[in-house]
Amino acid sequence: MQLFDAAIDNLNASENKLCYNNFAYSMRELSRHILKDLSPDDKVLNSFGIQTKFLIMKME
């Protein structure tokens, strides 16, 4: 929640010429944190689809 609040603070800092850029960066980082929590690397890398893709890439 702190990262979201910081993103909103960046958006509201209209005197800062980079307020939109800072907001976008903060939201990108927030979405990265959310996705990492929802899909940890070990679960993704061990999934059937990823393993199949790596196998096909090795065969080519």
CA distance 13 to 10: 5
Q: Whole-model pTM?
A: 0.62
pLDDT in tens, 50-60: 777 666 666 66
pLDDT in tens, 13-47: 988 899 999 999 999 999 998 988 888 777 777 77
